[in-house]
Chain A
């Protein structure tokens, strides 16, 4: 726990309102970025339930897939996909800031690190798509 700061008389202490993230576009984008994790987690829970239905037989599984056809679920998944893509893009952009890569003595320019992350994402996505859609 942190100790509350001692306020000296005469000074004016500003308070940051809970709506601070509406003050500028960067703050707002930050909130969207953090919020993306909620949608990703919700999708994974839906996926987990799907896996849970799997050993219960083709009937239970098909019934579950049928629920996902409801317009509400489609809207949820469109929204979740948008947030997931936003997460990926922001995440890879920030890896260049966080991860310093050295080649010998020289530091690899962050832009290259970011580029490599996006390339990796593309390759992994294509392989995964191929694996899921095959046969």
Chain B
């Protein structure tokens, strides 16, 4: 098992990368997919979405877009719980948070693989 000393920089780098990706890209995706399409301001056809998502470069983009911010979440979520006073449970909280992000990464790979 990694010691805290060597694992912290690793998770922090993933957190920083994820935070950057989320800050740059997520608002537009949220606006378009979460609001503009459901509210009918615009539409993206199934055929076009499929054609787009099938391209390797787009897949790579989608992987970074989805997987990296999961680590950003995991890192912050872990410290929210710690800052709320759950310091006795530090190790399980860290395992659960980062574990969920790793699981999400695997799921993202699987979904993109099948497109």
User: Contacting A129 at CB < 8 Å: which of B32, B79, B83?
Assistant: B32
Chain B residues, CB < 8 A from A74 = 35, 38-39
Contact B73 A52, beta carbon cutoff 8 Å: no
Q: What's the Cα separation between A45 and B47 when bound, in Å? A: 22
Interface of A is mostly: helix
Task: Name the distance in Å between B53's Cβ and chain A's nearest Cβ.
Answer: 6
Count A-side interface residues using an 8 Å CB cutoff. Answer: 52
Task: Name the distance in Å between A97's Cβ and chain B's nearest Cβ.
Answer: 13
Q: What's the Cα separation between A91 and B22 when bound, in Å? A: 9
Contact A92 B23, beta carbon cutoff 8 Å: yes
Q: Size class of B's contact patch?
A: 35 or more
User: Contacting B65 at CB < 8 Å: which of A44, A46, A54?
Assistant: A44
Contact A135 B49, beta carbon cutoff 8 Å: no
B21-74 contacts to A, CB under 8 A, are: 22-35, 37-39, 42, 44, 46-50, 53, 62, 65-66, 69-70, 72-73
Contact A88 B112, beta carbon cutoff 8 Å: no
Binding site for B on A (CB under 8 A): 1, 16-18, 21, 31, 34-35, 37-38, 40-41, 43-48, 50-52, 54-55, 57-58, 61-62, 65, 68-69, 73-74, 76-78, 80-81, 84-85, 87-88, 91-92, 120-121, 124-125, 128-129, 132-133, 135
Task: Name the distance in Å between B32's Cβ and chain A's nearest Cβ.
Answer: 5
| A129-B28 contact in complex given A44-B69, A51-B112, A54-B50, C-beta closer than 8 Å | yes
Chain B residues, CB < 8 A from A48 = 66, 104, 107-108, 111
B64-115 contacts to A, CB under 8 A, are: 65-66, 69-70, 72-73, 75-77, 79-80, 83-85, 90, 104, 107-108, 111-112, 114-115
Contact A55 B83, beta carbon cutoff 8 Å: no
Chain A residues, CB < 8 A from B13 = none
Task: Name the distance in Å between B40's Cβ and chain A's nearest Cβ.
Answer: 8
> What 7 pairs across the A-B complex have the smallest Cβ distances?
A77-B34, A41-B73, A91-B23, A18-B85, A37-B76, A88-B23, A58-B46
